[in-house]
Structures are given as structure tokens and as C-alpha cells.
Chains A and B, each alone.
Chain A
């Protein structure tokens, strides 16, 4: 597989959210605001890329019996680095995201890519896979948060785009809306992409 294939596969064809149904918890939790989704997405891209790279780099020395402990340690370390960076440089965003940055550690996509790809492939390929998977995840977050923030608050990235005449759909701000929006997104992609292609 070429590096481009690895990227396209991770980001779109085998997208972690709509194809593998991973990372759903955070996709539901933070997607009521686009800015939060973007920052969390960037945090996941950074963590996935570097965690995949590191896990791949030491894969030949990592004993199989403790590989998941090692992967968790590496992922947690990069997440803490993201947390320290946000606190030191963009404290407002760090405050808004609150516990969600720490929860990147529990994002199934990270362990999923570490197990499925990084532990069996070369470091650079694993890094590209991590960037692709992270971008695919961020894309889903942004699509869902675009709809939720637009209809829930009448804004995009905090900027009011719908006037005072707009009556906010409160259901869009609440978690249940993310459930049916995500379900509709998965249905649409399955129907119009995967089934049409088959």
C-alpha cells in the first residue's frame, strides 16, 4: 500500500467512526459546538499520529503480554502533553473542553489504530495512518457539530449566522440529537457510497 492509500483508507474508506463505529462517546459529547469539536479533533490527530509512531517504533521489542499496557502508557503521555500545551498556551479553550481532553485516553480509536495498524507496520506508515484516522474522526465531529450548532444556537464557530428571528432547536444542543444525526450520517454513507460501490 502506498502512503496515499494508507491515508485515504484511514481517513475515508475505513473511517473509524462511520465504518468501524469507534470513538462514538466523544462524537456525541462535544459536538454541540464546532470550536470544541475542532480543538478536540486536533488533539486526537496529534495524539494518534505520535502514539502510532511511537508504538510502531518499539513494536519489535514490546512483549505481547504487556503490549496494551504499553500502548495505554504512550497514549496517556501524549494526551497529557496536549493538556499541558492547552493549559499553557490557550487556557480559555482548555477551560471550555474541561475533562474531554483527558478523555482522549479512553477514545477507542487510539487503541484500535494502535492494535490494528501501528503494532504491525513501519513508524512512518503508522504516523500517516494516525493522521488519516484522526482527520476522519475530526471530519465527522465537524459535520455533526455544524448541524447541531447551526440549529441549536444559530451560530457557526460561535459567530451568529441566523438572526434573532431564529428559534433555537433545544434538542440539537442535547446529546440525543447527536445520536440520530450520527445514525443518519452512517446510513447516508453506507447507502450512497459503500452499497452503491458494491
Chain B
């Protein structure tokens, strides 16, 4: 009965995804992509590591931003996890993690300029919100029986360190490790808005069609991600964290005036700026301002965002089920798995934006490239996690092989975990739709980007808050569904 509910929920989401296809523009309009595709392919096989200005520096900066941002997020998130039962904390965390790192970076750029702090905070803030939530869930699920049996009056500190932390620790560690990989991706992507990480050069090279540079940058990034397990040793972390600030030293100075101006002027809606509080005309103008923003941008943006998200969610799920056997011990030998891992690293480490752009060359502008890019990217991430989970399954010695093994033994066993990951990823997909505005898909992120390009931070802020609320709503829905299906609220990683 429980299983059937999971299956029916899956079909429900499939149905919603198909329904959204009706509203999605999927036309293929490219006429001759081959010249550009040939240049891309040529670039791919002729990576030019020397052509990129300051390649080593960009790599170090990418690592430094990621490590410091994630580290700060871990510390703050752990502290918040301990008081996560407080409603204000829970809401605060939901809000900060509902906003994409790129948007945080854009906001901090306004306040702090191109400083190290901008990049670190842009990662640390949303990550702290995510860590707080996941850590608190892990701690809640760790050893509740042990905590129950402690003698009355053991004290919360002793109870926490003896009964909660030890069993939770391995999960906290593996989750944190997984987020380091995400942090590296985030750090690289922050280059798109001007921080001096790999993304800075990647985006430039891509825009200019210097595909040999693009492939050099991408290969370097793949190697960093693929070898993460080798160099990310617990003992080395303090060393890395000590070195990182030196890598980031320099940059512009932080000025309090800019921060004050941001809050007291920039994000105040234009009609109310420098208007008297009792000025009726200003408030009327504010009403019009709000209404126009909601009707012309927020509402259409919400619709496009949700349509894209729901289709990409289904696409990610389908691709996950295709991808995970590629890295699973249950299906492939060491050689096959290595190839599978390499494939998934490439697909999940290539920024969605680049995937989408390559596909745009193929199919022309429509929602299709965005859907496929998001599905590939997220399918590869969840496929990687489900694959690792499937390695841990205990199968009877006489289990069937091939497709029967897949359909009868493995998929039913990993399905709960698969759904848990997918629902976890739901809000992430929603956030990622933000950076695909380039394809002319007018998601909320597209309008936020426009407002920032026009230096209308009041509009940007208004739309960002709406984006955050939408995210919180989806997160709540996902939580409710997971609870209803009794899916682990915390995905097991490792």
C-alpha cells in the first residue's frame, strides 16, 4: 500500500509535467547549427591551456571561495541547526537558501563591490541555510532511542555530545563533503557575475567562441571535481583554510556608505524614494509600480518558472533512472563504472548554462534546451547519489541479472531514496531556472537579471523576494509529500 502511494505520486508528477508541456514552447528553429557545432567540437578536442589569462590564479580563487564559503556555511549552519526548532530561525534559513548564490552575489556586489567577502558570503549564506536544515534533520534522526534512555537530568550538552553527535557525525561528514563539490560548482559559477573564478573566463571564452579555451577550463574543472576524494582529506582542511585567505587577499575596499545606501536608497521602491511618508501621490505611484511589476513580470515569470521546473523535474527523474546503473557496482565492472563516473562528472560539472547554450545552437531558442540542460545536469547529480546508494544494497546470492535485476531487485529498493533525492532537488531546480534567462525564457530569474542590468535594485529586490517565497512554497510542498510518503527526510549520502 505504501509503495502504491509512491507510485501514484510519481505518476501524479509525471502527469503535471506532461500537462506543463502543453504550455512550454518546444519548437526547434535552428537552420544550420553545423558551422558553430564544428567549431565547438574542434575546440573540445584541442584544449588550449596556455591561452587562458591567469588560469592557475582562477583555479586557486575558485577553490578558495568554495572552501571558505562552505566552511563559513558549515559553522553557521551547525550553530543554527541546534536552534532550528525556533520558528524564526527556520524561516530565516528557508529564506536565505531560497535565493540562488548568483543573486546573493549580485546583491553583495552592490553593497561590497568586487571583494573577497562578496564571493564568500554569496556561498556561505545560502549554504548556511541549507546546512542548518539538513544538519538539524540528521541530528534529529540520529539515535533518538539512545537519547530516550539517558538518565533524567543528563544535561543538554552531555546528551547532545553522547547521544546525538556520534551517530550523526558520519552522516554530517558525508553530507558536508557532498556540499563541498556543490560549493566548487557554485564558486565557479560566481565567475559569471564577475568574481575572478573559473566561470569568469569560461563565460568570456564561451561568449567569444574561443572553444579551445572553453574546453581547457572545463577539463581543468572536471579534473578538480573528479579528484576531489583524493585531495579533500580531513587532515588537510585546516591547511587549506589557512591558505585560502591569502589567495583572496586584495580587491576593493569595503565602504560602509555603499552598504547604507543599498538599504536606505537602492532597494526602496522608486516612487517612495525621497518621498514623504504621508505623501499620497507617492503611495499611489507605489501602487502602480507594484501592480505593473506583478502583472508584467512577477506573474508571467512565476508561470514560466513553474512550467520549466515541473518538466525539468520529471526529466531529471527519468534521466536519473537511466544514469544511476552507469556508476553502480550492481550493473557494471570497474572499467564500465570508471567510464560511467567520468561521464556523470562531465555532465554534472558542466554549468547548466553552458549545456543550455550548446543545445541552443542545436535547436534554437525555446524552452527545449533549458529543459534538457536542467534534466541532464540534475539527472547526473541524483544518478550519482542513487548509484552509490545502490552499491550498499544487500542482494540475495541468486539474484537475477540484467534488466530483471534492474526492474525487480534494484529499482524497487532504491525507489524511496530516489524520490527523496528528487524531491530534495525540486527547489534546487526551481532556483536553477534563474540562470537560463539567456534563452529568452522569461523565468523570474530573467526579470531579476534584467532589473539588475538596468540597475533597478528596487525591482530586483522585489522579484527576488517573490522568487524566495515561491521557493519556500515548493520546499514546504516537497516536505509534506516526503512526510506523506514516509521518505527519509534526509537523503543518505555515501
**Is chain B found bound to chain A in the same assembly?**
no
Name B residues whose Cβ lies closer than 8 Å to a Cβ of A: none
